[in-house]
Amino acid sequence: MENPARTAEHLARLDQRREALRARLGGVLAPAPRFVWEIGCGHGHFLTAYALAHPAVSCIGIDIVRERIERAERKRERARLPNLHFLLAEAGMFLEVLPVNARPTDIFVLFPDPWPKQRHHKHRILQADFLARVAQRAGQGTRLYFRTDHAPYFQAVREVLQVHPNWRMVEENWPFEELTVFQARAPAYQSLIAVSK
Ligand SMILES: C[S@@+](CC[C@H](N)C(=O)[O-])C[C@H]1O[C@@H](n2cnc3c(N)ncnc32)[C@H](O)[C@@H]1O
């Protein structure tokens, strides 16, 4: 049975996290409200290399695992990249608190957790509702770059995008290559690119 005191505590904690993230994001985005967004950046290999190669582009990587964000932050500090930021944040909450003038122009989702069991598919990050929310905040012309070694997840995302009112898939070259931790372990993988309408 639900314990009302614990539920209230949990909701209060979520509110605190939202506020802290909102404050942090405000500072990060002030100089450049357009940014490249990596969801589930892990240890930050990809985005650090990307930010180094694109010094004029603001880059924000998020992950829900503190230890990964701390490692990514250390990489950023070593590389001394003012255009790069790593935040401990969940993707849905990040969207909720994103300032209204801020807009991701490119979104990378690289080797997201595949949640292979049918009953866990609801935990997959790339689903129709989430993509609709992203498109609503991104506006037209934002590119989504998705790569995975899990063929059923790839197929499921393709099917969602094929009929999605806010996205269309495009045949374009992958814009930037840098091995991620999970890519290095994958014997094979597939990639797709979609643009918001
Ligand atoms: C399989 S790992 C891939 C990490 C990295 N992209 C790579 O290719 O090595 C997936 C990452 O997504 C993060 N993650 C899962 N759900 C998330 C969410 N809702 N918001 C942000 N990050 C999330 C996990 O903590 C994990 O670090």
DSSP per-residue string spanning the chain? ---HHHHHHHHHHHHHHHHHHHHHHHHHHTT-SEEEEEES-TT-HHHHHHHHH-TTS-EEEEES-HHHHHHHHHHHHHHT-TTEEEEE--HHHHHHHS-TT-EEEEEEEES-----SGGGGGG-S--HHHHHHHHHHH-TT-EEEEEES-HHHHHHHHHHHHT-TTEEEE----S-----HHHHH-S--EEEEEEE-
CATH topology of domain 4-196: Rossmann fold (3.40.50)
Q: Where are the domains of the chain?
A: 4-196
Catalytic positions, written as ranges: 113
Distance 5 CA to ligand 1 centre (A): 31
For residue 192 and ligand 1, the question of a CB distance below 6 A is answered with no
pLDDT at residue 133 tops 70: yes
pLDDT one-digit tens code per residue, 30-83:
766 899 999 999 999 999 999 999 999 999 999 999 999 999 999 999 999 999
Identify the pLDDT of residue 5.
84
Percent of all residues in the chain with a pLDDT value above 70, rounded to a whole number: 98
pLDDT at site 105:
97
Q: What integer is the mean pLDDT of 92-100?
A: 94
